[in-house]
Amino acid sequence: MPLFRQDFVKERLRLSMTYLLILIGYAALMIALGMFWARRVHASSDFFVAGRGLSSGLVFSTLLAANIGAGSTVGATGLGYTKGLSAWWWVGSAGIGSLLLAFWVGPKIWRVARDNNLYTVGDYLEFRYDRRVRGLVAVLLWVGALAILAGQLIAMEQIFKVTAGLSKVAGCLLAAAVVTVYFTAGGLLATARVNVLQMVVKLVGFLAAVLFLWSVKGDWQAIKQAAQVPAAQAGTYFDVFGGGLSGILGYLALLTPSFIVSPGLLQKIFGARDEQAVRRGVGWNAMGLLAFAILPVLLGVMARGQFPDLKQAELALPMLLTNALPVWLGGLMLGALFSAELSAADAVLFMLTTSLSKDLYRTFLKPEASDQDLLRVARLTAVVCGLLGAGFALLFGSVISALRIFYTLLSAALLLPLLAGLYTRRVTARAALLTMLVSVGVTFLLERLTAGAGVRGVPSLLWGTAVGLVVMLCLTWIEQRSVTIAS
C-alpha cells in the first residue's frame, strides 16, 4: 500500500475513533443526567406532567429541544442541498404553528387540563367527547409516532455511519438504547432538564458551524458561486420563495397544524406551572424555530458547493461534519446533532408511552390500575417502543419520508376534533369520530392517487381536512335539528 494511502487510512481511523469516543461520552452524560433527575420521580404526575411545575424557561427549552430534531437538522440540510433557500419553510412552518399554539390553543387547553387534572391529549378527548374518540386517536397516533421515532433514529444512524463507521443496525440500536434509558428513568420531569443542555449544544453547534464555513468562503457571493447551480435554476434556488405558492403551501399544510395539535407538545404544555409560562415558553420556542430555520438550509447550500454529487442529500450534514470542519468544531456539531435527534426522540417516546399507559391501558384494559402500575406500564412501553422504533428505522429510506407519514396522519386525525372541542360544545363524539375517519381516509387516498403531488397544486391534506370539516358541519347540523324536533 502506498505511503500516502496508509497515512490517509490511519487519519480516517483516528478521526472515527475520536468521534466514537465523543458519542460514547455524550451518551453517558445524557444517561447520567436522566438518572439523576429520575430520583425525583415518585408518582405518575411527575412522569407525565412534571408535577405541573415547569417554568417559562423549561417549557421553552423542552419544546425547542423537541422541535429541533432529525427533520430540522439532517432533513432540513438535505432539503437545502436540493431545493435551496426555499427549504426555510420546512422549519419556518413549524415556527408559525408554534406561534398559533402559544397565543391561541396552548393557554386554553392548559386551563382545561389544569381544572380537570388531565395528563394527556387522550384525557382531554375523553373529557370532551368519549372513550371511542380517545381510543381511535391513540391507535392512529401510535402508527404515526413510530414513524417519526424511526425518523430520528435514521438520522442518528446516518451520523454514526459517516463519523464513526458504525453499521446501520448498530447505529439504530445504539441511538434507541440511549434515548430509551434516560427517558424511561424520569419521564417529563427528567427530560425537561436534560433538554436544556441539548438545546444549548445544538444552537451553539449549528451557529458555530455556519459562521466557520461562511468565514472560509468569504461572502455570500462566493458561496453562491461554489454551489454551481445552473443559471436556469439559480433564480429559484437562492430565493426563499423559490418553491412557488404550491411548494410553500405544501410546507404550511403539512407542518403548521402538526405543531398546533401534536400530543407530544401539548402534553409538555400540560406540565407548565401557569398560563404565563405557556405563552412565554411556547412563544420563545416559536421565535427560536423561525430564527434557527435558516441555519441548516445554509449548511445545505454550502454542502452542495463541496460535495456536488451526493447520491443521498441527507448525507450532506454528516459529510460537512467529517470533511469540512476542524475536529474541535466537528465534535461540537456531532454533539449538536446527537442532541437534536435524542431530544426529538424522547418527545416521541413521551407521546407513545403516555398514549398507551393512559389512553389504552388504564382506559380500556385496567381502569382500577394504581399509580405505581401506571408508572410501571409507562416505563415498559418506552422500552418496547424504543425497540420498535429501531426496527422501523431499518425499513424506512429517509428522514423526510418517515416524518411526512407522521405529520400527515397527525393533522388529518386530530386537528378538527381538538379545535372543535375547545371552541364549541355542539360537535358530538359521533361527529368527531366520523370527521377523523373521513379526513384520514380522503387524505391518504389522494396521496396515493396523486403520488403526493396533491390536486391542482393543493396538498392532499388540505383537501382531506376540508372534506372532514364539511362532514363535521353537516352531521352537527343534522344532530342539532334532530334534538330541536324531538324537543
- The closest of 399, 324, 368, 375 to 157, measured between CA atoms, is 399
Q: Can you give the pLDDT of all 487 residues of the chain as single tens digits?
A: 444 445 545 666 776 777 777 777 777 777 677 677 666 666 666 666 677 888 999 999 889 988 888 788 888 999 999 999 999 999 999 999 999 999 999 999 999 999 998 888 888 999 999 989 988 888 887 777 777 778 777 777 777 777 777 777 787 777 777 777 766 665 666 667 777 887 888 889 999 999 999 998 888 899 988 888 888 888 899 999 998 888 899 899 989 999 999 888 898 899 899 999 999 999 999 999 999 999 999 999 999 989 988 888 888 988 888 888 888 888 888 888 777 777 777 777 777 777 777 777 777 777 887 878 877 887 788 788 788 888 777 776 566 666 777 788 889 999 999 999 999 999 999 999 999 999 999 999 998 888 777 787 788 999 999 999 999 999 999 988 877 776 6
Type of residue at 134: R
Which pLDDT does position 4 carry in this prediction? 42
In whole angstroms, what is the distance from residue 202 CA to residue 206 CA?
6
Question: Are both 162 and 198 inside the same structural domain?
Answer: yes
Question: Are both 448 and 364 inside the same structural domain?
Answer: no
Question: Are both 291 and 386 inside the same structural domain?
Answer: yes
**Domain final position from 344, 368, 400:** 400
**Cell for 360?**
389504552
CB atoms within 10 A of CB 341: 31
Which pLDDT does position 267 carry in this prediction? 85
- Any domain includes 213: yes
Question: Are both 445 and 392 inside the same structural domain?
Answer: no
Question: Are both 164 and 200 inside the same structural domain?
Answer: yes
- Any domain includes 416: no
Question: Are both 196 and 264 inside the same structural domain?
Answer: yes
CB 447 within 8 A of CB 462: no
Which pLDDT does position 202 carry in this prediction? 86
Give the range of the structural domain holding residue 75, as residue numbers without chain letter.
3-400
DSSP codes of every residue in 224-256: HHHHT--HHHHHHHT-TTTTHHHHHHHHHHHHT
Residues 6+ apart with CB under 8 A from 111: 275
What pairs with residue 458 in β-bridges? 455
Q: 462 burial class (0-12, 13-18, 19+ CB within 10 angstroms)?
A: buried
In whole angstroms, what is the distance from residue 253 CA to residue 246 CA?
10
- Any domain includes 417: no
Which pLDDT does position 1 carry in this prediction? 44
Question: Are both 210 and 263 inside the same structural domain?
Answer: yes
Q: What is the dihedral of CA 178, 182, 187, 191, to 10 degrees?
A: -90
Which pLDDT does position 8 carry in this prediction? 44
Which pLDDT does position 295 carry in this prediction? 96
Type of residue at 31: I
* pTM of the predicted protein model: 0.84
In whole angstroms, what is the distance from residue 199 CA to residue 340 CA?
8
- The closest of 107, 109, 108, 132 to 121, measured between CA atoms, is 109
Count of structural domains within the chain: 2
Question: Are both 320 and 440 inside the same structural domain?
Answer: no
Instruction: Check which CATH number belongs to the domain holding 144 and give it.
Output: 1.20.1730.10
Backbone angles phi, psi at 69, to 5 degrees: -125, -145
Give the CA angle between residues 468, 473, 476 to the nearest 5°: 120
